[in-house]
A and B are shown apart, each in its own frame.
Chain A
Amino acid sequence: MLLSLFLTFLKIGLFTFGGGYAMISNIREVVVEKKKWLDEDGLLEVIAIAESTPGPIAINLATYVGYKRRGFLGSLAATVGVVLPSLIVIYCISLFLDAFMANKYVAYAFVGIKCAVAFLILSAGEDMLRKMKKTPLNIISFCAVFALMLTLELTGASFSSVLLILAGGVVGVIAVAAKRGGGEK
């Protein structure tokens, strides 16, 4: 069972491109349909947990499924399995990427790739913005952080976004507490 967890997640790590949500459909196929380790509801629950906790979704899923099947060792086997392919593939790439980039045409290709990355980042953000609940508080914090970051970045200043993330979380907790207080009056 441990070996099967390891190998299954090794395969998921090896054959899913693009990370994040792209991995979910692949994981669903293997974990729900083939192995029947989880049912559809179970998978939705894990995805909800993975989304509300930090870290790459694939890792969260592997750890959770592994733990449910075989406890701590299971979670370890599944997580190592899902990480190992990236580790090996990227390490090999890192060995020759510099030499590869020195080629004129490869450098040209990367001029284009950088543009595509900007597009992908913007379109991921746009998707999330569309799905965001448009409460006044959400809109205000979005606009404030967006304006702040743009100004800072374009004027060459730097600011820790971890602090902004934490501040956002604290605002969210205060909003919940305030609503509760208001309800009791």
Chain B
Amino acid sequence: MIYLTLFLEFFKIGLFCFGGAFGMIPLIEETVVKYGWLSESELYAFIGVCESTPGPIAVNMATYVGASQGGVLGSIVATLGVVTPSFIIILLIASLLKNLTDNKYFRGFLSGVKPVIIALILSTGAVLVAKSAGYSYPLTFSPDLAAVTVFALLALICIGSRLIFKKKIPSIALILISAALGICVSVAFELV
């Protein structure tokens, strides 16, 4: 019953996604890889698409994974799944539990969750860098020169923009720059 699985898995993701858009990426990755819905590489390519399309990333991911597994109905069911927990919780807070967010233990729970989420996000990012650069288990490293070059160039651009303009590059701009770099570097390596 793919629709039920989609709904339940995305419900779980919606329920445990603290810490904004990136907080859910570790959870999504676990889920889609576990069920074989997307490969890791497809997932990260699609996160790039999400960054350059409107709307909350969680909803975009749910719609895409849902559509890939169950067409229109799949995308609707997965999206409903990811939205429902927030919807119910906010309704409860707005109507009945007005003081929940002032509760000491609730605050304690949140402050305990925070470092875990940050660690999950950073470890996901670090592992993604290692894997795109060519690492794979068991302990093999066949460097992907194109990816390593793009990383180096992007790092230069990011650090440069922080130093010169004192500002971060907006994510859509970064995606576009990286797409151009990806094409140039890959074509250059092909010619060499």
Which A residues are closer than 8 A to B by beta carbons?
13-23, 48-60, 63-64, 67-68, 72, 75, 79, 82-83, 85-87, 89-91, 93-95, 97, 101, 105, 108-126, 128-129, 132-133, 137-139, 141-146, 149-150, 153-156, 158, 160-162, 164-165, 167-173, 175-177, 180
Contact = CB atoms under 8 A, between A and B. Distances in A.
12 contacts: A56-B17, A86-B59, A112-B180, A113-B179, A119-B174, A120-B174, A123-B158, A124-B22, A124-B121, A129-B118, A144-B119, A168-B115
Nearest to A18: B171
Nearest to A107: B186
B20 A55 contact: no
Nearest to A14: B54
Contacts of A72: 91
B50 interface: yes
Given A13-B54, A54-B89, A83-B83, A161 B60 contact: no
Nearest to A112: B182
Interface string B123-138: 1111111101001011
Contacts of A120: 22, 51, 171, 174
Given A53-B93, A56-B58, 19 more contacts: A64-B93, A82-B56, A90-B60, A97-B49, A112-B179, A113-B175, A117-B48, A118-B125, A118-B151, A121-B125, A128-B117, A129-B118, A132-B114, A142-B115, A142-B119, A143-B119, A158-B30, A165-B113, A180-B104
B142 interface: no
Interface of B: 12, 14-22, 25-27, 30, 33-34, 41, 44-60, 63-64, 67-68, 72, 75-76, 79, 82-83, 85-87, 89-91, 93-95, 101, 104-130, 132, 135, 137-138, 146-147, 150-151, 154-155, 158, 168, 170-172, 174-175, 177-183, 185-187
Contacts of A50: 90
B96 to A, nearest CB: 11
B120 to A, nearest CB: 5
A56 B86 contact: yes
A64 B111 contact: no
Given A87-B76, A110-B48, A129-B122, A55 B94 contact: no
A60 B175 contact: no
B48 A16 contact: no
A55 B111 contact: no
Given A64-B90, A141-B112, A15 B54 contact: yes
B109 A111 contact: no
Contact of A125 (B45, B121, B168): B121
Contacts of A176: 104-105, 107-108
Contacts of B138: 155-156
Contacts of A180: 104
B54 A117 contact: no
Contacts of A149: 26, 119-120, 123-124, 127
Contacts of A86: 53-56, 59-60, 63, 79
B112 A170 contact: yes
Residue of B50, B91, B107, B122 most packed against chain A (CB within 10 A): B122
A145 to B, nearest CB: 4
